[in-house]
Structures are given as C-alpha cells and as structure tokens.
C-alpha cells in the first residue's frame, strides 16, 4: 500500500462490506442470547457471549484502521504488522456496544414497519427482533421494491438502508418526501456507515432518525418507539383536523342552506299594483336582514324591512321568525293596517332578554292604493327616501329598537304619494361602508347618490357599484338589503 484511496466513498464501502457479515453474527447471536433460558446445553450461553465480544472487537478494529486517519498511519508505517496493536485477551475486552436487555420487551407503541435492505440476512435479523417487540413487518430488498410496496400498502415507519444497488436509500428517501401520499411516513436510515456527513445528509433530506449497524437493541427499540409515538401523534392530529374540516364543511353547507332559505322567503319583484325591485347581497356570514311586501287586503300593500343586530345563525333565525310573523299576520289582536300597532306587538313578542340579547330595527309601511296615502312607522331603523321627481324626502317616524324596552310606544306618520314617485327602503349596510382609510359616507351624501340614481332612472346596480368603488372591495361587511318601490 503506497497511497491513501483517492475517493472517500471507497473506504466507506470497504468498511460497509467488512462489517456486514459481522453484523449478521451479532444480530443472530443476540437473538439467541435473549432466549438464554431455553438454550441447551447451558454452556452455549457463554459461547454466544464470546462470539458477540469477538465480533464487536473486530468492528472496532475495522472502524479504527479503515478510517482515513488509520489508513494514513498504515501508509506511513513500514509494515501492517508493526502498526497494528496486539489483540487483547478475549475475556478482558469491554464491548463498545451494550447488548441491551436479556429479553426484548413488547414495545409501548406497536406499528407496521417496512424494512428495506439489500441483504436478506439483515432483513431477517431485524424483522425477527421487531416481531418480538410486537411490531408487524414487511421487507423490501431494493429501492424500487420499497417504493412499490409503500404505494400499495400502509406503514407506520420505514427502516431504510443507505447503500443498496440501483436506487439507494438517499434516493428512496427523497422520492418519499416529494410524494404527498408518502411524505408523512417517518424514516429511520440504517447503514454500516457512520460518517457524520451521512447523518447530516439524511436528516436534512427529511429522515426522522439515523442508526448505525450493528444495532444496540435498547437504542433501536427506543428510536423506533419514539418515531412511532410521534407518528401516532401526527395521525391523531390529522384525524382531528379532518373532523374539524368535515364539521366546518357541514356547517358551511348548513349555513348556505339557511342563506338560501332566507332568500327564498323574499318575494319576487312585481310590476303591479306598484313596481317593486330589490337587491339583496348577504355578507360573508349568515346575516340578519330580511324584507318583503304583500297585500293585506284588496287595497292595502304592506312593505317592510328589518335588520337584526349582529350576524350568524341566531340573527338569521330571529329575522326569519319575525318575517314569518308579519307575513302570516299572526300577532293576535294586531291591526296590520296600522304600522304603530304592528311595531308595538313585535316589541312585546320579541323582548331581547328572551332572544339572547338580540334586537332588531324595522321600517314598516302600509300603502293605500285608493287614497295614495302611505302610513309608516320605524323602530330604530334608517329613514326611507322618497323621490317625487324634484326633491328627496326622508320618510321617518320616531321609535325605539324592537325588543329594547317592554311597553314602548311607536308613532305612525302618513303622507300622500304623488304619481311617479319612488320610495327607497334599505338597511344601514347599504350606506355604512368604509373606504381603505376607514372613512365613512355621510347619510346626506348617500341621499345625493340615491337621488342621482332616481333622477336618471338608473338601475339599482349603480348603487351597488358605487358602494364597492367607495370601499375598494366587492365583499360587504354587512348585509346589503335595498328595495325600490315605484308608485
């Protein structure tokens, strides 16, 4: 020998090839030693101990003299015999690797483990040890087989040898971590190589851990147990996440169903006896707006819009319930031709302390088609806007929020509607929009925008476009509810 091998992997390969049969000897002798109570004759136990000690000593010598430093010393020496230390007596050698417990206990967490090694004897010894610990095992003797098995069967852990012909352990690991279906399976790399760069490379590539041959049984059991416990925790997290996602999806479906129901109770636009058009855009959450209109008798048309505080299922249920009460006329003893009586009855029927502290605002009007008189009342709601062709008038009447105070009185107001006039009834979400700087539109400015739409006979979508342009976003934070009545 006149020079150190030029490629660093050559020494590693030599160590690997020389250590492999010694690992087999250690593995099988340790398995036999664990069954010492059943070994006959008893002297075999002592012989097995000597075999393990000798094998471990040879492993130490291989690691010492087949390292780069060891080869360098050999090259500089005159002869191999002069440089090699004398082999100590067998009985005085202290093994560098403890043999572990005499009996391999059942693992705290068991799992299904794939053992990948090109050497059948390695697979045999490792599988037998894992089976004794309560694990279920399968084997693959090369990288292609390992990937094929992983894609067709379910495993909790992979013990993956580094040096294999064809696709080596590094390539299998990289393929697993790039595959969405396999990347969650923990991998422990195993090899007779013990260079630090191999350890770093494996961990950086996504390996869970690294073990060198020959295996310390206690360390092997601990590393596998830790990996399986972490895998079990990750699986539990994924199951909980799936339950949460399924619950959220189911809740979203139910909220969508609720939103469709709210929309279904809004009557279709009409052209007689008056012309009514509307726009309704729910906010990102299930909202509390609702509105409608219906004939009370042959000559009286009821028009109403209510807005429950807040959002969500509770607000939506309250708005739908109140709407159905108005539509069905089921407030006992109430004259629905008189808006003040309707609001008084609603206030008594829906006190906020019985509605989870929720209240609502409402605008309610009755139009008499024979006299062209509109009688209206308001419970804390924004005024409606009447455009008579030349000017815009607030249509409001004083009144508290519905449900805020028991026994509250409400006042009705009346006004004659000229032919061709237009009435706009809306929720506060139509004009209470904020721009990107947090600024809001004043109600007076909003009146001017509405008057421009009415004066030019523009479509209601113009008001929606105006609000979206002002806030710089297509989504509304509050429900957008708007009716336009042309008399």
The yes-or-no verdict on residue 424 having pLDDT over 90 is yes
Shared domain for 49 and 29, answered yes or no, is yes
| DSSP code of residue 206 | T
Q: Which of 200, 233, 264 is the last residue of a domain?
A: 264
Q: Please, which residues bridge with residue 358 across strands?
A: none
Shared domain for 350 and 291, answered yes or no, is yes
d(CA 477, CA 285): 9
Q: Are 110 and 227 in contact (CB under 8 A)?
A: no
Lowest average pLDDT, out of 86-100, 273-287, 449-463, goes to 86-100
* pLDDT, the chain, mean: 84
Q: Which residue reads 């052209």 in tokens?
A: 271
What share of the chain has pLDDT > 90, as a percent? Answer: 56
Shared domain for 233 and 351, answered yes or no, is no
Shared domain for 285 and 255, answered yes or no, is no
| DSSP code of residue 433 | -
Lowest average pLDDT, out of 196-200, 362-366, 453-457, goes to 196-200
d(CA 388, CA 210): 84
Say what the pLDDT of residue 413 is.
Answer: 97
Shared domain for 460 and 340, answered yes or no, is yes
* Sign (positive or negative) of CA dihedral 257, 260, 266, 272: negative
- Give the pLDDT band (50/70/90) at residue 95: very low
Shared domain for 339 and 468, answered yes or no, is yes
Write the CA distances from 421 to 385, 390, 416, integer angstroms: 10, 10, 10
Specify the CATH number for the domain of residue 370.
3.60.40.10
Shared domain for 52 and 90, answered yes or no, is yes
Number of domains in the chain: 3
Shared domain for 276 and 217, answered yes or no, is no
Q: Which of 68, 83, 101 is the last residue of a domain?
A: 101
d(CA 393, CA 321): 31
H or E stretch including 271? Answer: none
Write the CA distances from 82 to 63, 76, 79, 444, integer angstroms: 18, 11, 5, 105
* Sign (positive or negative) of CA dihedral 220, 222, 226, 232: positive
Write the CA distances from 232 to 17, 110, 130, 175, 357, integer angstroms: 36, 10, 18, 22, 45
**Per-residue pLDDT tens over the stretch 167-178:** 999 999 999 999
What share of the chain has pLDDT > 70, as a percent? Answer: 77
Q: Which domain holds residue 164?
A: 104-264
Provide the token pair at 382.
């924004």
Q: Name the residue among 30, 32, 73 with its Cα closest to residue 52.
A: 30
Shared domain for 225 and 280, answered yes or no, is no
pTM (two decimals)? 0.59
Q: Which of 219, 243, 264 is the last residue of a domain?
A: 264
Q: What is the dihedral of CA 251, 254, 259, 264, to 10 degrees?
A: 180
Say what the pLDDT of residue 66 is.
Answer: 63
Shared domain for 108 and 17, answered yes or no, is no
Shared domain for 233 and 348, answered yes or no, is no
Say what the pLDDT of residue 158 is.
Answer: 97
Shared domain for 277 and 255, answered yes or no, is no
Can you give the three-state secondary structure of 285-326, one letter per residue? CCCCEEEEEEECCCCEEEEEEEEECCCCHHHHHHHHHHHHHH
């Amino acid at each position: 020998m006149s020079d150190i091998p030029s490629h660093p992997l050559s020494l590693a390969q030599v160590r690997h090839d020389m250590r492999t049969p010694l690992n087999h000897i250690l593995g099988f002798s340790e398995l036999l030693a664990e069954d010492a109570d059943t070994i006959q004759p008893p002297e075999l136990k002592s012989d097995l101990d000597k075999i393990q000690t000798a094998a471990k000593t040879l492993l130490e010598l291989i690691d010492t003299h087949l390292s780069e430093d060891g080869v360098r010393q050999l090259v500089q020496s005159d002869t191999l015999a002069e440089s090699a230390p004398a082999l100590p007596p067998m009985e005085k050698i202290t093994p560098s690797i403890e043999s572990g417990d005499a009996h391999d206990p059942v693992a705290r967490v068991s799992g299904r483990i794939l053992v990948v090694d090109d050497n059948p004897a390695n697979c045999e010894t490792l599988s037998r040890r894992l089976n004794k610990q309560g694990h279920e095992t399968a084997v693959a003797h090369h990288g292609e087989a390992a990937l094929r098995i992983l894609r067709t069967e379910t495993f909790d852990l992979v013990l993956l040898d580094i040096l294999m012909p064809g696709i080596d352990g590094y390539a299998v690991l990289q393929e697993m971590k790039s595959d969405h279906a396999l990347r969650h399976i923990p991998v422990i790399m195993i090899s007779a190589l013990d260079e630090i760069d191999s350890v770093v490379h494996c961990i950086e590539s996504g390996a869970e851990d690294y073990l060198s041959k020959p295996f310390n049984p206690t360390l092997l059991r601990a590393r596998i147990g830790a990996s399986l416990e972490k895998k079990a925790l990750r699986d539990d997290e994924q199951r909980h996440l799936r339950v949460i996602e399924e619950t959220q999806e189911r809740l979203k479906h139910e909220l969508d169903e609720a939103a469709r129901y709210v929309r279904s109770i809004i009557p279709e636009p009409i052209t007689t006896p008056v012309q009514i058009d509307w726009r309704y855009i729910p906010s990102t959450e299930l909202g509390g707006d609702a509105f409608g209109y219906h004939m009370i008798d042959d000559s009286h048309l009821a028009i109403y819009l209510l807005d429950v505080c807040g959002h969500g299922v509770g607000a939506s249920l309250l708005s739908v319930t109140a709407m159905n009460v108005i539509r069905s006329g089921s407030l006992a003893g109430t004259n629905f031709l008189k808006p003040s009586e309707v609001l008084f009855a609603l206030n008594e029927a829906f006190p906020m302390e019985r509605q989870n502290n929720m209240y609502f605002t409402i605008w309610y009007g009755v139009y008499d088609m024979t006299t062209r008189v509109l009688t209206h009342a308001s419970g804390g709601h924004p005024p409606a806007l009447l455009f008579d062709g030349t000017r815009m008038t607030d249509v409001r009447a004083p009144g508290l929020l519905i449900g805020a105070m028991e026994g509250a009185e409400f006042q009705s107001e009346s006004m004659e509607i000229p032919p061709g006039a237009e009435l706009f009834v809306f929720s506060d979400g139509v004009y209470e929009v904020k721009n990107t700087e947090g600024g809001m539109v004043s109600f007076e400015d909003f009146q001017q925008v509405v008057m421009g739409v009415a004066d030019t006979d523009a479509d209601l979508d113009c008001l929606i476009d105006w609000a979206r342009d002002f806030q710089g976003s297509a989504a509304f934070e509050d429900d957008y509810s708007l009716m336009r009545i042309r008399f």
